[in-house]
Amino acid sequence: KAGVTQTPRYLIKTRGQQVTLSCSPISGHRSVSWYQQTPGQGLQFLFEYFSETQRNKGNFPGRFSGRQFSNSRSEMNVSTLELGDSALYLCASSIGDTSSGNTIYFGEGSWLTVV
Amino acid sequence: GQQLNQSPQSMFIQEGEDVSMNCTSSSIFNTWLWYKQDPGEGPVLLIALYKAGELTSNGRLTAQFGITRKDSFLNISASIPSDVGIYFCAGHRNSGNTPLVFGKGTRLSVIA
Protein backbone atom coordinates (compact mmCIF):
# COMPACT_ATOMS: atom_id res chain seq x y z
CA LYS A 1 0.00 0.00 0.00
CA ALA A 2 1.56 3.30 -1.06
CA GLY A 3 2.13 5.85 1.66
CA VAL A 4 1.39 9.54 1.66
CA THR A 5 3.06 11.18 -1.33
CA GLN A 6 4.07 14.81 -1.37
CA THR A 7 5.38 16.83 -4.30
CA PRO A 8 7.64 18.58 -4.83
CA ARG A 9 10.18 17.39 -2.26
CA TYR A 10 12.36 20.48 -2.49
CA LEU A 11 11.77 23.92 -3.89
CA ILE A 12 13.22 27.39 -3.71
CA LYS A 13 11.06 30.47 -4.18
CA THR A 14 11.61 34.18 -4.05
CA ARG A 15 9.94 36.52 -1.58
CA GLY A 16 6.58 37.67 -2.89
CA GLN A 17 6.00 34.63 -5.07
CA GLN A 18 3.37 32.03 -4.40
CA VAL A 19 3.73 28.27 -4.09
CA THR A 20 1.45 25.25 -4.38
CA LEU A 21 2.26 21.96 -2.67
CA SER A 22 0.52 18.71 -3.45
CA CYS A 23 -0.38 15.70 -1.34
CA SER A 24 -1.80 12.31 -2.29
CA PRO A 25 -3.12 10.45 0.76
CA ILE A 26 -2.95 6.74 1.42
CA SER A 27 -5.52 4.93 -0.71
CA GLY A 28 -8.86 4.87 1.11
CA HIS A 29 -8.00 7.76 3.43
CA ARG A 30 -10.40 10.67 3.24
CA SER A 31 -8.77 13.13 5.61
CA VAL A 32 -5.70 15.21 4.88
CA SER A 33 -3.95 17.49 7.38
CA TRP A 34 -1.15 19.93 6.74
CA TYR A 35 1.59 20.95 9.18
CA GLN A 36 4.43 23.44 9.08
CA GLN A 37 7.63 22.36 10.80
CA THR A 38 10.43 24.75 11.68
CA PRO A 39 13.35 24.13 14.08
CA GLY A 40 12.13 26.54 16.71
CA GLN A 41 8.38 25.94 16.53
CA GLY A 42 7.98 22.21 16.11
CA LEU A 43 4.92 20.93 14.27
CA GLN A 44 2.35 23.66 13.72
CA PHE A 45 -1.10 22.65 12.50
CA LEU A 46 -2.22 24.45 9.36
CA PHE A 47 -5.55 22.89 8.39
CA GLU A 48 -7.43 19.65 7.91
CA TYR A 49 -9.70 18.60 5.08
CA PHE A 50 -12.20 15.77 5.15
CA SER A 51 -14.45 14.93 2.23
CA GLU A 52 -13.47 18.17 0.47
CA THR A 53 -14.47 20.30 3.48
CA GLN A 54 -12.12 22.18 5.75
CA ARG A 55 -12.65 20.72 9.23
CA ASN A 56 -10.14 22.70 11.23
CA LYS A 57 -7.77 25.58 10.74
CA GLY A 58 -4.69 26.58 12.70
CA ASN A 59 -3.47 30.05 13.56
CA PHE A 60 -1.91 31.01 10.26
CA PRO A 61 -2.56 34.11 8.15
CA GLY A 62 -4.90 34.06 5.18
CA ARG A 63 -1.91 33.72 2.84
CA PHE A 64 -2.04 30.02 3.69
CA SER A 65 -4.88 28.20 2.03
CA GLY A 66 -5.76 24.70 0.96
CA ARG A 67 -8.28 22.53 -0.75
CA GLN A 68 -9.17 18.92 -1.20
CA PHE A 69 -10.41 17.24 -4.34
CA SER A 70 -13.02 14.54 -4.76
CA ASN A 71 -10.30 11.88 -4.98
CA SER A 72 -9.03 13.06 -1.54
CA ARG A 73 -5.86 14.55 -2.98
CA SER A 74 -5.05 17.90 -1.42
CA GLU A 75 -3.12 21.03 -2.26
CA MET A 76 -1.95 23.87 -0.10
CA ASN A 77 -1.04 27.29 -1.37
CA VAL A 78 1.03 30.04 0.18
CA SER A 79 0.78 33.44 -1.47
CA THR A 80 3.08 36.44 -1.12
CA LEU A 81 5.86 34.34 0.34
CA GLU A 82 7.93 35.68 3.21
CA LEU A 83 11.37 34.57 4.40
CA GLY A 84 9.75 33.14 7.53
CA ASP A 85 7.71 30.74 5.43
CA SER A 86 10.82 28.66 4.87
CA ALA A 87 10.01 25.32 6.47
CA LEU A 88 9.24 21.67 6.00
CA TYR A 89 5.57 21.31 5.06
CA LEU A 90 4.15 17.97 6.06
CA CYS A 91 0.98 16.36 4.85
CA ALA A 92 -0.69 13.57 6.81
CA SER A 93 -3.66 11.40 5.98
CA SER A 94 -6.12 9.37 8.01
CA ILE A 95 -9.13 7.21 7.27
CA GLY A 96 -11.56 9.59 8.95
CA ASP A 97 -11.35 13.06 10.41
CA THR A 98 -8.76 13.36 13.15
CA SER A 99 -11.13 14.74 15.79
CA SER A 100 -12.68 11.26 15.89
CA GLY A 101 -9.39 9.85 17.12
CA ASN A 102 -8.11 8.48 13.83
CA THR A 103 -4.37 7.90 13.54
CA ILE A 104 -2.55 10.05 11.00
CA TYR A 105 0.28 8.98 8.73
CA PHE A 106 2.79 11.50 7.41
CA GLY A 107 4.39 11.99 4.04
CA GLU A 108 8.08 12.83 3.66
CA GLY A 109 7.35 16.52 3.40
CA SER A 110 8.10 19.37 1.03
CA TRP A 111 11.11 21.51 1.88
CA LEU A 112 10.40 25.13 0.99
CA THR A 113 13.16 27.71 1.02
CA VAL A 114 12.24 31.35 0.47
CA VAL A 115 15.08 33.62 -0.58
CA GLY B 1 -2.55 26.19 19.55
CA GLN B 2 -2.11 24.02 22.60
CA GLN B 3 0.91 21.77 22.69
CA LEU B 4 1.73 18.89 24.94
CA ASN B 5 4.55 19.17 27.47
CA GLN B 6 7.13 16.72 26.25
CA SER B 7 10.34 15.97 28.15
CA PRO B 8 13.20 15.80 28.06
CA GLN B 9 13.83 18.21 25.21
CA SER B 10 17.01 16.35 24.28
CA MET B 11 19.12 13.52 25.58
CA PHE B 12 22.50 11.98 24.94
CA ILE B 13 22.88 8.33 25.85
CA GLN B 14 25.36 5.53 25.41
CA GLU B 15 24.54 2.72 23.02
CA GLY B 16 22.87 -0.08 24.95
CA GLU B 17 21.23 2.16 27.52
CA ASP B 18 17.49 2.38 28.04
CA VAL B 19 15.64 5.60 27.28
CA SER B 20 12.50 7.07 28.73
CA MET B 21 10.55 10.14 27.63
CA ASN B 22 7.09 11.39 28.46
CA CYS B 23 4.29 13.77 27.59
CA THR B 24 1.88 15.47 29.93
CA SER B 25 -1.14 17.69 29.56
CA SER B 26 -3.66 19.46 31.71
CA SER B 27 -6.43 18.12 29.45
CA ILE B 28 -7.79 14.61 29.09
CA PHE B 29 -6.81 12.79 25.93
CA ASN B 30 -8.60 9.94 24.16
CA THR B 31 -5.66 8.82 22.05
CA TRP B 32 -1.89 9.02 22.39
CA LEU B 33 0.44 8.56 19.46
CA TRP B 34 4.22 8.36 19.32
CA TYR B 35 6.18 9.25 16.18
CA LYS B 36 9.85 9.20 15.24
CA GLN B 37 11.33 11.61 12.72
CA ASP B 38 14.66 11.02 11.02
CA PRO B 39 16.53 14.04 9.62
CA GLY B 40 14.93 15.32 6.43
CA GLU B 41 12.01 12.89 6.60
CA GLY B 42 8.43 12.96 7.76
CA PRO B 43 7.44 11.53 11.17
CA VAL B 44 6.77 7.80 11.22
CA LEU B 45 4.16 6.31 13.53
CA LEU B 46 5.71 4.06 16.20
CA ILE B 47 2.88 3.25 18.59
CA ALA B 48 -0.77 4.22 18.95
CA LEU B 49 -2.61 3.99 22.29
CA TYR B 50 -6.38 4.09 22.59
CA LYS B 51 -7.30 3.15 26.18
CA ALA B 52 -6.26 4.47 29.58
CA GLY B 53 -3.72 2.13 31.14
CA GLU B 54 -2.90 0.49 27.82
CA LEU B 55 0.69 -0.74 27.53
CA THR B 56 1.85 -1.50 23.99
CA SER B 57 5.18 -2.70 22.64
CA ASN B 58 6.74 -2.47 19.22
CA GLY B 59 10.06 -4.32 19.29
CA ARG B 60 12.33 -2.51 21.74
CA LEU B 61 9.79 0.28 22.15
CA THR B 62 7.11 0.31 24.84
CA ALA B 63 4.53 3.03 25.37
CA GLN B 64 1.80 3.49 27.95
CA PHE B 65 -1.39 5.50 28.07
CA GLY B 66 -1.53 7.04 31.54
CA ILE B 67 -4.36 6.07 33.90
CA THR B 68 -5.34 9.72 34.36
CA ARG B 69 -5.50 10.08 30.53
CA LYS B 70 -3.33 13.16 30.88
CA ASP B 71 0.04 11.60 30.18
CA SER B 72 1.93 8.98 28.22
CA PHE B 73 5.46 7.69 28.18
CA LEU B 74 7.71 5.97 25.68
CA ASN B 75 10.57 3.66 26.62
CA ILE B 76 13.31 2.41 24.33
CA SER B 77 15.35 -0.50 25.60
CA ALA B 78 18.94 -1.30 24.66
CA SER B 79 19.36 1.73 22.38
CA ILE B 80 21.24 1.42 19.11
CA PRO B 81 22.67 4.13 16.79
CA SER B 82 19.67 4.02 14.45
CA ASP B 83 17.43 5.16 17.32
CA VAL B 84 18.82 8.65 16.75
CA GLY B 85 16.12 11.11 15.77
CA ILE B 86 13.34 13.27 17.14
CA TYR B 87 10.48 11.56 18.97
CA PHE B 88 7.10 13.29 19.06
CA CYS B 89 4.10 12.54 21.17
CA ALA B 90 0.66 13.50 19.91
CA GLY B 91 -2.84 13.18 21.24
CA HIS B 92 -6.52 13.69 20.58
CA ARG B 93 -8.24 15.74 23.26
CA ASN B 94 -11.58 14.66 24.63
CA SER B 95 -13.38 17.77 23.44
CA GLY B 96 -15.27 18.36 20.22
CA ASN B 97 -13.84 19.04 16.84
CA THR B 98 -10.18 19.61 17.66
CA PRO B 99 -7.15 18.57 15.65
CA LEU B 100 -4.32 16.37 16.84
CA VAL B 101 -2.03 18.10 19.36
CA PHE B 102 1.75 17.58 19.23
CA GLY B 103 4.56 17.83 21.73
CA LYS B 104 7.70 19.75 20.75
CA GLY B 105 9.74 16.57 20.49
CA THR B 106 12.62 14.83 22.25
CA ARG B 107 15.87 14.83 20.31
CA LEU B 108 17.73 11.59 20.98
CA SER B 109 21.45 11.18 20.34
CA VAL B 110 23.13 7.81 20.81
CA ILE B 111 26.85 7.63 21.42
CA ALA B 112 28.40 4.42 20.14
| B94 vs A38: which has the higher pLDDT | A38
Q: Are A99 and A81 in contact (CB under 8 A)?
A: no
d(CA A111, CA A88): 5
**Mutation for A interface: B4, B27, B93, B100, most A CBs within 10 A:** B100
How far is A5 from chain B, CA to nearest CA, in Å?
A: 11
How far is A39 from chain B, CA to nearest CA, in Å?
A: 10
How far is A106 from chain B, CA to nearest CA, in Å?
A: 6
pLDDT at B39: 86
What is the tens place of the pLDDT at every residue in B60-93?
999 999 999 999 999 999 999 999 999 999 998 8
pLDDT at A1: 56
Q: How many CB atoms lie within 10 A of CB B57?
A: 12
Contact B1 A43 (CB under 8 A): no
- Per DSSP, B91 falls in state E
Query: In this complex, how many residue pairs, one in chain A and one in chain B, have their CB atoms less than 8 Å apart?
Result: 63
What is the tens place of the pLDDT at every residue in A39-78?
877 899 999 999 999 999 999 999 999 999 999 999 999 9
Which band of pLDDT confidence, cut at 50, 70 and 90, is reported for residue A98?
A: confident
